[in-house]
């Protein structure tokens, strides 16, 4: 009975129906695990190298002198070495290396751009934070004129105010609240220097007033004005 099933399985395998042949061989092995022929033909029904190896080992356990089983194991061992060798690894697809190189180059360029943009932003912010406020040319001239004015004018009876809105007082001590503010460029009559005080006694709009000495000059460098009696604002 088993021989008949075995022969049917072998015949099915030979005709190409390996699945039916496999089922018949398994029936034989369920009844007789030591059937050497069934184990050998079972290796033909599968492409799984591990299953083939187990079948060959069972054959050699049953019959250690089976050369076909030994040859089959050697072939499986050789195929395993080929698959595990570096040359058997999957070759890179054409263009795959170029894609990786392009991606790496793109990342490098993006990093460089980020560094450049960050540096420019840092320089711009620093220039805003640390750039000193510029002064107008007029302010610079007036400041320089006042700072370098060591001696008040004494060679002229008329003077010109060289600072914005000079405070004018009614006393040589320049104390208390100012009586008025005299605009820059206003020409006044110089009456006298207040002895003991850094102030000039002058006439402006009919009033006798006192102003700080450095704010009165006999020449306005900003407007090029030379004060005189005709354009004096003393009356």
What is the DSSP track for 3-34?
Answer: HHHHHHHHHHHHTT-HHHHHHHHHHHHHH-TT
Q: Which residue has the higher pLDDT, 157 or 11?
A: 11
Location of each CATH 1.25.40.10 domain in the chain: 2-88
Which residue has tokens 């194991």? 73
> For residue 23, what pLDDT band results from cuts at 50, 70 and 90?
very high
Please determine, for residue 79, whether its predicted confidence score (pLDDT) is greater than 80: yes
Q: What pLDDT is stored for residue 124 in this prediction?
A: 81
Q: What pLDDT is stored for residue 91 in this prediction?
A: 54
Do 156 and 190 contact (CB within 8 A), yes or no? yes
0.75 exceeded by pTM: no
Location of each CATH 2.30.30.40 domain in the chain: 145-217
* Topology of the domain covering 2-88: 1.25.40
Residue-wise pLDDT for 211-223, tens only, equals 887 777 765 555 5
> For residue 39, what pLDDT band results from cuts at 50, 70 and 90?
very high
Highest mean pLDDT: which range of 104-118, 128-142, 164-178: 164-178
How large a percentage of the chain has pLDDT more than 70? 69
Do 139 and 146 contact (CB within 8 A), yes or no? no
Highest mean pLDDT: which range of 56-60, 181-185, 218-222: 56-60
Please determine, for residue 60, whether its predicted confidence score (pLDDT) is greater than 90: yes
> For residue 146, what pLDDT band results from cuts at 50, 70 and 90?
very low
Q: What pLDDT is stored for residue 19 in this prediction?
A: 92
Q: Which CATH class is domain 145-217?
A: mainly beta
Please determine, for residue 49, whether its predicted confidence score (pLDDT) is greater than 70: yes
Distance CA 45, CA 29 (A): 14
Total residues found in the chain within this entry: 235
């Amino acid at each position: 009975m088993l021989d008949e099933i075995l022969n049917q399985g072998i015949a099915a395998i030979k005709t190409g129906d390996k699945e039916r042949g496999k089922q018949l061989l398994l029936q034989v092995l369920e009844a007789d695990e030591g059937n050497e022929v069934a184990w050998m033909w079972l290796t033909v029904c599968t492409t799984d190298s591990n299953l083939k190896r187990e079948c060959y080992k069972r054959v050699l356990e049953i019959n250690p002198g089976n050369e076909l089983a030994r040859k089959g194991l050697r072939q499986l061992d050789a195929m395993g070495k080929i698959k595990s060798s570096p040359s058997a690894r999957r070759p890179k697809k054409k263009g795959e290396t170029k894609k990786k190189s392009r991606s790496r180059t793109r990342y490098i360029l993006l990093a460089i751009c980020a560094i450049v943009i960050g540096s420019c932003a840092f320089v711009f912010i620093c220039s805003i934070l640390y750039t000193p406020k510029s002064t107008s040319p007029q302010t610079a001239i007036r400041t320089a004129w006042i700072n370098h004015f060591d001696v008040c004018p004494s060679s002229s009876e008329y003077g010109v105010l060289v600072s914005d809105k000079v405070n004018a007082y009614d006393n040589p001590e320049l104390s208390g609240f100012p009586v008025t503010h005299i605009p820059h460029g206003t020409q006044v009559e110089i009456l006298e220097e207040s002895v003991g005080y850094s102030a000039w006694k002058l006439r402006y709009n009919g009033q006798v007033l006192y102003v700080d000495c450095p704010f009165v000059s006999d020449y306005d460098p900003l407007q090029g004005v030379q004060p005189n009696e005709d354009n004096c604002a003393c009356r």
